[in-house]
Amino acid sequence: MAVVLASALIFMLIAGPAGALLYVLQAGIFSLALPRFLAMGGGAARALASAVAVTVAVITVAAVGYGITRGVTIEGQVAESLQTSISQAVQLYEKSGVSGTDLDELREGMDRAAKTLAQLYPSLFIVGITLAGGLNLLLLQRFGRRLGFAVPGGSFGTYRNPDHLVWLPICAGFALLAGHDVVTAVALNVLVLTGFLYFIQGMAIIIHLFDRHAVPAFLRYLLYFLLFVQAYLVVAVALFGLLDLWGNFRRPRIPTNL
């Protein structure tokens, strides 16, 4: 609580009340919820998922309340912000000498990308919060014992999604055939979230195999670098995590964490 209050004060001095409020909503609530759920038991993965759920619920209520009082929508705010970024990028390209047909094609491509990002904003936001919280949790697991306490639950290499989760991407894939804008947006967000969860499971399998076969640290960091620069490898890891449902690459069978 003291760290959250001190951080909010710093944000208030730097960015004003709005900056402090954004920090509290995006990080402060999560910082208080995660240790609470860890103390309740049930494992690190379940505590992380619960903390993310609480944070997203509070942010959703705050966003809806803000939209009602100001007469705006969150999707509209996101789209406006993206269009501002696109306009700035186009101006930079114009100053660098790009013009004519090339500039028009570039603007059209950016507009399509902005539309897609506006649709995927909810799932990308949840993924961002989960990644930030997960990295903090991994650091806590790594250094917690040195500070005299241990995080409940197994190591990251034992993470496994529930088997029935596979029905979500299957249903979302069929929903894309409906051709309805709202249904398509919901289905795309579901695919992003489930794809992220299976990417996490794929990474857990890889870490488990690395530990089992004592893979050198250099090769591990090389894989992390390739994942950072190569999107297709991220998709391959997610498919690897999905195939674990049938392949069970970690024997004996790893129990579900969530």
Convert the pLDDT of each residue in 183-221 to its tens digit: 998 999 999 999 999 999 999 999 999 988 888 989 999
| Both tokens assigned to 15 | 């960015």
Which pLDDT belongs to residue 117? 83
pLDDT, greater one: 77 or 28: 28
Which pLDDT belongs to residue 236? 93
State how far Cα 159 lies from the chain centre. Answer: 16
Which pLDDT belongs to residue 89? 79
From the CB of residue 87, how many other CB atoms can be counted at a distance below 10 Å? 12
CA distances 235 to 75, 146, 200, 227, Å, are 27, 36, 11, 9
- List of E strands, 52-112: none
| Both tokens assigned to 119 | 């649709």
Which among 208, 195, 200, 216 is positioned nearest to 154, based on CA atoms? 208
Which pLDDT belongs to residue 235? 92
Mean pLDDT across 92-108: 76
Which pLDDT belongs to residue 147? 75
HSE-CB at 250 with a 13 A cutoff on CA atoms is 25
Per the CB < 8 A criterion, the answer to whether 162 and 227 are in contact is: no
HSE-CB at 9 with a 13 A cutoff on CA atoms is 6
From the CB of residue 246, how many other CB atoms can be counted at a distance below 10 Å? 9
Confidence of residue 154 (pLDDT cuts 50, 70, 90): low
Confidence of residue 172 (pLDDT cuts 50, 70, 90): very high
What average pLDDT is seen over the chain?
86
CA distances 24 to 7, 133, 134, 216, Å, are 9, 14, 18, 40
Confidence of residue 153 (pLDDT cuts 50, 70, 90): low
| Local structure of 155: helix, strand or coil | coil
Mean pLDDT across 100-129: 83
Whole-angstrom Cα distance, residue 30 to residue 153? 19
pTM: 0.83
